[in-house]
Amino acid sequence: PLEKVSVKPSVSFTSPNSFGTGGSVTSEAVSYAVKKACEKLLDRMKPIRKDNPNATWETIVQKSYAKHIDLCAEAAFSQLDIPEYLIPALGCAEIEVDILTGNVQVLRYDILEDVGESLSPGIDVGQIEGALVMGIGYYLTEALVYDVKNGALLTNRSANYKPPGAKDIPVDFRINFLRGSSNPLGVLRSKATAEPPFNTTVVVLFALRNALRAARKDAGLPDVWIPLGAPTTPDKILLLAGNTIDQYLLN
């Protein structure tokens, strides 16, 4: 039962073989190692289970302890343990642009992702949502500005470097898992979910380009290619929108 499972903090004094959590490997690494450790414990307790086929899990553990069976097991994960596999995902964004300020509001974001057989749907939804908001910040707000004279980073605090906040979260956020999917190469037929959704957030930039094209058309400007990069911040959007003072004069 899940209520009997507790996760303790990781300390390098007792777990020295730690490594970075990048590349969306954490869920797989931990799950794989836990699975292997559990298999070791099950193998050690097999004689007790054989002699007590109808005993509860607690009873089997107690009898194993009484027989001086080691009830601690460890296992490690190597990236060679799990073959590479693909994680398809599809994103779609609807945005609203304030042409006078350059601010962007993501009205709706839909994503369909192949997560295999999800180990924990609640956690996977949270991972996908976090990756999408991170991508929105990457494409719209988080600008690194350096001093041209000495190379010092000028956007070195939240007053001038803008990570996404609560109001940058899409108004309508829809996360969908591909139905009927299973990953024979992954841990318990699952797939990683942490960073792959980030790649879909480029659709926010595509939607922004379409919005700017519409604004420029209304301003009577030619429909030319609009260069956008990461990030396209409000000041850049304002300049690309084709605003002129003449458009706002009262006749």
Question: Same CATH fold, 89-248 and 20-81?
Answer: yes
Beta strands 89-97 and 172-177 are unpaired
Beta-carbon contacts of 170 under 8 Å, excluding residues fewer than 6 positions away, are 93, 106, 107, 108, 109, 132, 136
- The pTM score is 0.85
Count of CA atoms in the C-beta half-sphere (13 A) of 69: 20
Count of CA atoms in the C-beta half-sphere (13 A) of 109: 29
Split at pLDDT 50, 70, 90, the class of 130 is very high
What integer is the mean pLDDT of 59-76?
Answer: 95
Q: Which of 177, 161, 15 is nearest to 89 (CA)?
A: 177
What residue segments make up the domains of the chain, in order of their start?
Answer: 20-81, 89-248
Confidence at residue 109, expressed as pLDDT on a 0 to 100 scale? 98
Confidence at residue 3, expressed as pLDDT on a 0 to 100 scale? 87
Is the model's pLDDT at 169 over the cut of 80? yes
What integer is the mean pLDDT of 47-61?
Answer: 95
Fold annotation for 89-248: Aldehyde Oxidoreductase; domain 4 (3.30.365)
- Measured CA to CA, the distance from residue 164 to residue 162 in angstroms comes to 6
- Measured CA to CA, the distance from residue 215 to residue 221 in angstroms comes to 9
Residues with catalytic roles: 195
pLDDT tens readout for residues 203-232: 999 999 999 999 999 988 999 999 999 999
Q: Which amino acid is located at 74 in the chain?
A: E
What integer is the mean pLDDT of 63-92?
Answer: 92
- Measured CA to CA, the distance from residue 30 to residue 114 in angstroms comes to 20
Please provide the average confidence, as pLDDT, over all residues in the chain. 92
Tokens of 73: 């097991």
Confidence at residue 24, expressed as pLDDT on a 0 to 100 scale? 81
pLDDT tens readout for residues 133-165: 999 999 999 999 999 999 999 999 988 999 999
Q: Which of 24, 23, 65, 73 is nearest to 48 (CA)?
A: 65
Quick one: three-class SS letters along 131-144? HHHHHHHHHHCCCC
Continuous H helices in 99-222: 121-140, 202-218
DSSP E strands in the chain: the ranges are 89-97, 104-113, 172-177
What integer is the mean pLDDT of 43-61?
Answer: 95
Split at pLDDT 50, 70, 90, the class of 26 is confident
Confidence at residue 108, expressed as pLDDT on a 0 to 100 scale? 98
What proportion of the chain, given as a percentage, has pLDDT over 90? 75
Fold annotation for 20-81: Aldehyde Oxidoreductase; domain 4 (3.30.365)
Tokens of 192: 């990683």
